[in-house]
Amino acid sequence: EAGISKDGQTREHALLAYTLGVKQLIVAINKMDTTKWSEERYQEIIKETSNFIKKVGYNPKHVPFVPISGFNGDNMIEASSNCPWYKGWEKETKAKATGKTLLEAIDAIDPPSRPTDKPLRLPLQDVYKIGGIGTVPVGRVETGIIKAGMVVTFAPAGVTTEVKSVEMHHEQLVEGVPGDNVGFNVKNVSLKEIRRGNVAGDSKNDPPKGAESFNAQ
């Protein structure tokens, strides 16, 4: 109740999620056992929650509402017998989805697109010096691909070098794709030349460069 009241934490989290680009949402109405699985209480919460997520920017018709009891594990993996009135959730997106449990709602989330066809953009989370290997920048591939033999440019440092190898979780990769958190060994670059916050790109395909201004989305 406190979470969805004015200035409540749930309202704040919904606003934060939407602002940070999370466009898919599931609303799990927890502790249904404390209301003896009351349909009236469930509908009350749905009405109130729908109103505030709509104000944030979400379309309630695209959001599954799932009654659960986390403590008892009810309606999370298997449909609960405690709410015979519950006909299931429905999500009106491109591919219409229906289900009953929280797990089914999670499985119905549309996977994010993996823009491998766009120019490489890899923001650095850190740069390490590893004995016997050399300089290893690490970061998450946002767009494009990174692979051994590729010549990359770091912006705004203006450093260009060749990628010797690409690894993820200590395993060699043929290529890193969007979503991969990779470490890649680069030739003849010192720790002083590149740092956290730099962005790596393919020097032959629209490499990243500094800008005086940009339009925020």
What confidence score (pLDDT) does residue 2 get? 54
Mean pLDDT of 93-116: 90
Domain of 91, in residue numbers: 9-107
How much is the pLDDT for 7? Answer: 66
216 domain-assigned: no
Exposure b/e, 9-41, CB count within 10 A at least 16 = b:
ebbeebeebeeeeeeebebbbbebbebebeeee
User: Is residue 214 situated within a structural domain?
Assistant: no
Please classify residue 190 by burial: count the beta carbons closer than 10 Å to its beta carbon, then call 0-12 exposed, 13-18 middle and 19+ buried.
Answer: exposed
Say yes or no to pLDDT of 3 above 60.
no
Q: Mean pLDDT check: name the lowest of 2-6, 53-57, 92-96.
A: 2-6
* Average pLDDT estimate for 102-109: 96
User: Is residue 99 domain-shared with residue 146, that is, in the same domain?
Assistant: no
pLDDT for 5-41, tens place per residue? 666 788 889 999 999 889 999 999 999 999 999 999 9
Q: How many domains does the chain have?
A: 2
Q: Are residues 126 and 101 in the same domain?
A: no
CATH of the domain at 183: 2.40.30.10
Residue 160: Cβ within 10 Å count: 13
Report the alpha-carbon distance of residue 64 to residue 43 in Å, rounded: 13
pLDDT band at 142 (very low <50, low <70, confident <90, very high): very high
140 shares a domain with 99 = no
CB 58 within 8 A of CB 92: no
Residue 62 backbone dihedrals phi, psi, to 5 degrees: -95, 0
Is 51 contained in some domain?
yes
